[in-house]
Amino acid sequence: MDFYYEVGSRHALKVLLLLEFCPHLKVNLKELSQLENRESSLAAHY
Amino acid sequence: MRYLASEAKVLYGENIEERCLIDQWISHLQATFLVPLGQFYDIVLGRKMVTRSRYLALNHEIKQHLQQLDSRVKIQSFLCGTYMSLADLSLACDLFLAYRLVITDKYKKNISYLMKWYERVSRKEEFQRVFGHEWPCKK
């Protein structure tokens, strides 16, 4: 759940739930979290 | 989320038409329903203060959206047809707080098809691993 608090949005829960449905997918949550944060910053900026 | 689903080839349709429909639903919900719902959660969770009239207006707007969604799942098992998709997963995630905190037993009767749909999605083992077992709003 660290990922949820880092990103701090319902969107993160959706990603976690999606990952439950596809356990074969290898995802680095920390990298994904950083990517999400970058996207949020960009979205807020523009 | 869409990227991950397309990479995993899970919950994102089997052909381009299904994907378009799923995308359309996700975008539609983000642009319409999720805006007042997010504001409503902020109020219910004490993050934001609003006037009573604003609260009632938001409540009314959300109920209208819920009615529309109820009509949708009345004719089909899931948002995009007979298969569960990313759009259902996304909406269920947005509704889980409402199910626990806002949608009372009395109001559930007005959106019975949507509640059946929600139970279909939330009963999935994967859903329960993230959200735990469902407990409905008591009051």
Task: List the single residue in B with minimal CA-CA distance to A1.
Answer: B130
10-residue mean pLDDT profile of chain B (139 residues): values are 84 92 94 90 86 93 95 94 93 88 87 95 90 71
Q: Do A27 and B90 touch (CB under 8 A)?
A: no
- The confidence band for A45, taking pLDDT boundaries of 50, 70 and 90, is low
pTM of the model: 0.82
Q: Which of B4, B7, B94 sits opposite A15 (nearest CB)?
A: B4
How much is the ipTM here?
A: 0.80
Question: Does residue A30 contact residue B17 with C-beta atoms inside 8 Å?
Answer: no
Return the pLDDT at B47.
82
Site from B10, B26, B96, B127 to mutate, A interface, most A CB atoms within 10 angstroms: B10
Please check the confidence at residue A29 and state whether its pLDDT lies above 50: yes
The domains found in chain B, sorted by start residue, are: 2-131 (1.20.1050.10)
Name chain B contacts of A25, Cβ cutoff 8 Å: 4, 7-8
- B93 neighbourhood in chain A, CB within 8 Å: 10, 13-14, 17
Q: pLDDT category, A5, cuts 50, 70, 90? A: very low
pLDDT at A2: 41
| CA-wise closest residue to A23 among B10, B29, B65 | B10
Output the pLDDT for position B25.
95
Instruction: Give me the residue from A10, A15, A21 closest to B11, CB to CB.
Output: A21
Break chain A into its structural domains and give their ranges: 2-45
Of chain B, the percentage scoring pLDDT greater than 90 comes to 58
| Contact list, B86 vs chain A (CB under 8 Å) | 18
